[in-house]
Structure 1
């Protein structure tokens, strides 16, 4: 399996970010992991790299509950972006929320690749990376 070039973790929990980064490093399937503590930071990064598709993430793991710009606000803005032709970015909600209202809201974003509940293990991470690599 080839490595996924760019993975973006958008989560205000720095311990979770650290654990996910450790998983990625141990699996040795990702070239670069970028971490953002709120959706606004991640969105600004993506907007500033639209002219450089190789710098854009291949996979985004997005928390729902964050300060400043939460996951829902990020998604509302993200779906309006014009991603360069040939570049596909998979976005997964990765949250501790199991509220039905959040699950229903996720269905409002057809471009969302999935809704996963924390914690996830190495096997699930591997599956996400294999899916991102196949694009």
Structure 2
């Protein structure tokens, strides 16, 4: 089966949200491999490891990042990730997916080069399809 996206990742501590998004991605056959991280620290460790071993670890093409998580939140993850020279991320799209409707969060996201867009939860099936199909084009 041909998938529009080879690899994506979800960085979110909300199990219900992660399960819902996973089911939608599976049902629509939008991604072949899906990485799931419970907080920014787990994700950062993966990305830093990938930077050191690119032949062994793939960089996700689509990244869905929550802001409010334990250990390391989404803002801390973005700040830490930007400290590394990571040219492979230029081929990735990163979406902040948050329940926050705070205009300050939305404006702040626009100032971070890694962030493609800010989506408010719950994300719809159509939004996910658009994200994944656009990335494959």
TM-score (norm 1): 0.90
Residue in structure 1 matching 2:107, options 96, 104, 107? 104
The whole-number CA distance in structure 2 between the counterparts of 1:86 and 1:73 is: 17
Q: Runs of 4+ in structure 1 displaced over 6 angstroms?
A: none
| Conservation of the 8 A alpha-carbon contact between 2:59 and 2:88 | no
Alpha-carbon shift at residue 121 of structure 1 (Å): 1.2
User: How many residues were matched structurally?
Assistant: 134
CA RMSD of superposed structures (Å):
1.8
Listed as ranges, the gaps of 5+ residues in structure 1 are none
Whether 1:91 and 2:97 are equivalent positions in the alignment is no
Could you tell me which residue of structure 1 aligns to residue 20 of structure 2? 19
Alpha-carbon shift at residue 102 of structure 1 (Å): 0.8
TM-score (norm 2): 0.89
The whole-number CA distance in structure 2 between the counterparts of 1:56 and 1:91 is: 12
- How is 1:1-135 mapped onto 2 (pairs within 5 angstroms)? 2-50=3-51, 51-52=53-54, 55-84=58-87, 88-134=91-137
The whole-number CA distance in structure 1 between the counterparts of 2:124 and 2:43 is: 24
Alpha-carbon shift at residue 87 of structure 1 (Å): 5.6
State the secondary structure of the residue aligned to 1:49: helix
| Conservation of the 8 A alpha-carbon contact between 2:99 and 2:121 | yes
State the secondary structure of the residue aligned to 1:20: helix
